[in-house]
A and B are shown apart, each in its own frame.
Chain A
Amino acid sequence: MALTDLHAEAVAGIVDRVAQRYRRDPTCIVQILREIQEACDWISPAAIDRLQAVLGVPRTKIEGVAGFYSFFYTRPRGRYRILFSDNITDRMAGNLPLMERLCGNLWVEPGKVSEDGLVSVDKTSCTGMCDQGPALLVNNLAVTRLDAGRIDEIADLVRNAVPLGEWPAAYFAVADNVRRADILLGHTLQPGDALRAARDRAPSEGIAASNMRSWREGLPHGLGGPAATLDEIKRANLRGRGGAGFTTGLKWEACRNAPLKPGQQRFVVCNADEGEPGTFKDRVLLTAHADLVFEGMTVAAYTIGARRGFLYLRGEYRYLLDHLECILKRRREQKLLGPDILGIPGADFDIEIHLGAGAYVCGEESALIESLEGKRGTPRNRPPFPVTNGYLDQPTVVNNVETFAAAALIAVKGGDWYAAIGTRHSAGTKILSVSGDCERPGLYEYPFGVAVRQVLADCGAGRTQAVQVSGPSGVCIGADEFDRRIGFEDLPTAGAFMVFDDSRDMFEVARNFVHFFQHESCGFCTPCRVGTSLLKNLMDKLHNGHGSPYDFAEIEKLNQLLQSMSHCGLGHTACNPVLDTIAKFRPAYERRMEHNDFTPAFDLDRALAAARQMTGRDDAGAHIPAEFGEDA
């Protein structure tokens, strides 16, 4: 009993300390829960008790949030919480046998906690290490390049309860793997260059005065540094790099022009929730070019008149947090963040980092904002859009990491320079995250318009059967389409470029993606919540050898329903991998239509197994033949 009290006291102390650091601000619940879990290994009822008292919010709110994110545990999950990345590229690199090996070593079942409460082993969605997989997360820290040897060592470390801090540093090494650099990955800017350039675009008279106004409420078009910078962004024809390709200049202008009610302000949010399987460019940008990204955010703040910014970093990149905080600290010291940036009176801007906790849907900008506000990551009804009603219902610009980096470049070099690179409707360059069946996985930055065939040649891909462009929600193309080009005119992409050679079963690729969407559906709307589960069950039915043409028709019907009725892009695109692979790799499906007649999704004979065991019977009547009609 005394021990329990002591424990409760210790938990309360931790909760108080963490909540205090976040100013007891309920909008920081996601951050607070993450830190509580890092300290306590899980989020216990006692911790929730204390937290609801400290924050003054209903318990249901905390439990609702804790229950939404994959990385939050409201039941004990062990001192070592190991999650194997389960993207198709991890599968291809053999993650499942490695997971089995680890489970065998540790005497633990996948998805369960070991009996001594020491360790749990499970799978998770793509962790963004596709160029150096198979990968896993241990207590949300990334371990890459797994092989049997490393797995056995990890098992020993866990069994001996060696603290993570004492594990070999090599496990946690993440390589950048930049294979082809262009204007972004090859830039030579120094911190502050872009901001100085933006400032210097102001006419010589009255810098301070004009910027005082524009920073807060925007200036008439064409006046002052912010407006001039906005002009450059617009002239650059920069489009969002998260995949949808909305024109950045228009977004910034709409936010800048959005009216503010008393007490409101504008916000800049960098979307680093890089959850699309097969994408890892933001990981590298934030590792090697974080200054450029922060500078782009600050340019945006300068342009639209924002004082607060957020970097929403996916939980899988937790290992980058200290590094990024260091850079923010240095930039404050350099007067590139904080009050009166570069000595411009009123140019106040600072950036906070918020971590996600395992929810792909938070990459959708309105869901991301909900998460930033400390809520469940459910996409909002739109309109209104974030540029007018974003963070805390105030005007907010949300852009991708790569967009901000490009904006910083444009601030220095000008819109015309940028617009001249790439193609007519796709200005600039695009960083591709290349993984899968190729000799040199990693980052490839090309001017827009590069042909898929060129990328395949550069990365050393051979006997390529298909490329999944822009991840599961993107498009799957076959060999006859390799002359298609990366760009908004043809193949828009957030960056993922997964290569499949002719040894791969494209049905299994699609099935992996369908499982991904089912796992990541937020559950808000009926068609996506239930539809992704039904689709997963149907794909599993085919996989398990129970497929018939009826199921094929069902899949097509579900695809239609998901596309037309879903609330957000997750549901709209959840069927893309299936639609594409049916259209382009139909034999992979036809092979699975093993029956002409409708066939149940489950094995009828196996459905008697429990009864056979309980009765000890094994006579003919205790079985159901699989194929009825054969005896007819």
Chain B
Amino acid sequence: MDAPGKKKLKVATTSLAGCFGCHMSFLDIDERLFTLLDYIEFDRSPLTDIKEVSPDCDLGIIEGGLCNAENVHVLREFRKNCKVLVAIGACAVNGGLPAQRNHLPLSTILEEVYHTSPGLANGLIPNDPELPLPLNKVHPIHEVVKIDYFLPGCPPSGDAIWKFLTDLLAGREPELGHGLMHYD
């Protein structure tokens, strides 16, 4: 890594159709977070609660795949405002758990969940305009925007995230190697 002192890189993160597990794992880099903060500053992220991505972000880290219209909107915001976009975790990389609904038609799923499942109060499919509509299929994010780097894992370990970020910040092609490279 370059010595600190230069302008800090602006990093934004988000979780789309994910479980925030990758963000939790990000926190698992523990005290190294302080080192990291010498080099980066957080923009939009669940860690900062900033709601909009700044237009001059250097790095966007996306957890989760695309399940609904809002996911698409946020992903496009990130792509527009971040120089480099990283897909982190199984769901961003290949759709992950949510994508396991893909062999079923959406109509069948909504029917099952809101009409035929027992114990529902009114049996209506929610149609509040505040709610994002689900896509026919769940997509990994690289199917919708150009992704520059991928960090697989469910979640990737704190060590894997650290290795990945330090490689990236040092201008190296990130390489995980045995033990850090995991799809699960």
Chain A interfacial positions (CB closer than 8 Å to B): 550, 597-598, 600-601, 604, 607-617, 619, 621-624, 628-629, 632
Complex Cα distance, B105 from A607, in Å, reads 12
Partner of B136, one of A600, A610, A622, A628: A610
Q: Which of B52-68 contact A (CB under 8 A)?
A: none
Interchain nearest-CB distance for B165 vs A (Å): 24
Query: Contacts A615-B133, A628-B80 hold; do A604 and B72 have CB atoms under 8 A apart?
Result: yes
In the complex, residue of chain B having the shortest beta-carbon distance to the beta carbon of A611: B133
Q: Pick the interface stretch among B1-9, B41-49, B93-101, B142-150.
A: B142-150
- Chain A proximity mask over B122-144: 1 for CB below 8 Å, otherwise 0: 00011101101111110100011
The yes or no answer to B110 lying at the interface (CB within 8 A) is: yes
Q: List 7 A-B contacts (CB under 8 A).
A: A610-B136, A611-B106, A611-B135, A614-B110, A615-B125, A623-B69, A632-B80
Q: Which A-B residue pairs are the 7 nearest by beta carbons?
A: A615-B127, A611-B133, A598-B146, A628-B76, A610-B106, A607-B135, A600-B144
Interchain nearest-CB distance for B23 vs A (Å): 25
- With A604-B135, A610-B106, A621-B133 known, 13 other A-B pairs at CB within 8 A are A597-B146, A600-B143, A607-B135, A610-B136, A612-B133, A614-B106, A614-B107, A615-B125, A616-B127, A617-B127, A619-B129, A622-B129, A628-B79
Query: Contacts A617-B129, A621-B69, A622-B69 hold; do A609 and B76 have CB atoms under 8 A apart?
Result: no
Complex Cα distance, B111 from A613, in Å, reads 12
Q: B139 contacts which chain A residues (CB < 8 A)?
A: 600
The yes or no answer to B32 lying at the interface (CB within 8 A) is: no
Interchain nearest-CB distance for B168 vs A (Å): 21
Pair B137/A607 contact, Cβ less than 8 Å: yes
Interchain nearest-CB distance for B162 vs A (Å): 29
Query: Contacts A614-B107, A615-B127, A629-B80 hold; do A608 and B146 have CB atoms under 8 A apart?
Result: no
Interchain nearest-CB distance for B129 vs A (Å): 5
The yes or no answer to B172 lying at the interface (CB within 8 A) is: no
Q: A621 contacts which chain B residues (CB < 8 A)?
A: 69, 129-130, 132-133
Interchain nearest-CB distance for A607 vs B (Å): 5
Complex Cα distance, B144 from A598, in Å, reads 8
Interchain nearest-CB distance for A565 vs B (Å): 23
In this complex, the member of A598, A609, A611 whose beta carbon has the largest number of chain B beta carbons within 10 angstroms is: A611
Q: A622 contacts which chain B residues (CB < 8 A)?
A: 69, 129, 133
Q: B105 contacts which chain A residues (CB < 8 A)?
A: 610
Q: A616 contacts which chain B residues (CB < 8 A)?
A: 127
Interchain nearest-CB distance for B141 vs A (Å): 10
Complex Cα distance, B137 from A604, in Å, reads 10
Partner of A624, one of B69, B127, B129: B69
In the complex, residue of chain B having the shortest beta-carbon distance to the beta carbon of A608: B133
In the complex, residue of chain B having the shortest beta-carbon distance to the beta carbon of A613: B107
Contact-residue bracket for chain B: 20 to 34
Pair B69/A598 contact, Cβ less than 8 Å: no
In the complex, residue of chain A having the shortest beta-carbon distance to the beta carbon of B55: A632
Pair B143/A601 contact, Cβ less than 8 Å: yes
Q: A601 contacts which chain B residues (CB < 8 A)?
A: 143
In the complex, residue of chain B having the shortest beta-carbon distance to the beta carbon of A616: B127
Q: B73 contacts which chain A residues (CB < 8 A)?
A: 624
Q: B143 contacts which chain A residues (CB < 8 A)?
A: 600-601
Complex Cα distance, B134 from A614, in Å, reads 11
Pair B144/A604 contact, Cβ less than 8 Å: yes
Complex Cα distance, B136 from A101, in Å, reads 31
Partner of B72, one of A550, A598, A612, A624: A624
- Chain A proximity mask over B70-96: 1 for CB below 8 Å, otherwise 0: 001100100110000000000000000
Pair B145/A607 contact, Cβ less than 8 Å: no
Q: A609 contacts which chain B residues (CB < 8 A)?
A: 136
Q: B136 contacts which chain A residues (CB < 8 A)?
A: 607-611
Q: B129 contacts which chain A residues (CB < 8 A)?
A: 617, 619, 621-622
In this complex, the member of A604, A607, A609 whose beta carbon has the largest number of chain B beta carbons within 10 angstroms is: A607
Complex Cα distance, B130 from A597, in Å, reads 30
Interchain nearest-CB distance for B66 vs A (Å): 9
Q: A600 contacts which chain B residues (CB < 8 A)?
A: 139, 143-144
In the complex, residue of chain B having the shortest beta-carbon distance to the beta carbon of A623: B69
Partner of A550, one of B106, B125, B144, B146: B146
Interchain nearest-CB distance for B123 vs A (Å): 13
Partner of B145, one of A598, A608, A612, A624: A598
Q: B106 contacts which chain A residues (CB < 8 A)?
A: 610-611, 614
Complex Cα distance, B106 from A81, in Å, reads 33
Complex Cα distance, B64 from A348, in Å, reads 72
Partner of B69, one of A608, A628, A632: A608
Complex Cα distance, B45 from A293, in Å, reads 76
Q: A628 contacts which chain B residues (CB < 8 A)?
A: 76, 79-80
Pair A617/B80 contact, Cβ less than 8 Å: no
In this complex, the member of A597, A600, A623 whose beta carbon has the largest number of chain B beta carbons within 10 angstroms is: A600
Complex Cα distance, B130 from A614, in Å, reads 16
Pair B135/A608 contact, Cβ less than 8 Å: yes
Q: B125 contacts which chain A residues (CB < 8 A)?
A: 614-615
Q: B137 contacts which chain A residues (CB < 8 A)?
A: 607
Complex Cα distance, B145 from A628, in Å, reads 11
Complex Cα distance, B134 from A612, in Å, reads 9
Q: A613 contacts which chain B residues (CB < 8 A)?
A: 107
Pair A617/B133 contact, Cβ less than 8 Å: yes
Q: B110 contacts which chain A residues (CB < 8 A)?
A: 611, 614
Complex Cα distance, B125 from A608, in Å, reads 15
Interchain nearest-CB distance for A550 vs B (Å): 7
In the complex, residue of chain A having the shortest beta-carbon distance to the beta carbon of B69: A624
Interchain nearest-CB distance for B9 vs A (Å): 23
Complex Cα distance, B126 from A617, in Å, reads 10
Complex Cα distance, B76 from A550, in Å, reads 17
Q: Which of B17-42 contact A (CB under 8 A)?
A: none
Complex Cα distance, B132 from A615, in Å, reads 11
Q: A611 contacts which chain B residues (CB < 8 A)?
A: 106, 110, 133-136
Interchain nearest-CB distance for B17 vs A (Å): 14
Complex Cα distance, B79 from A533, in Å, reads 28
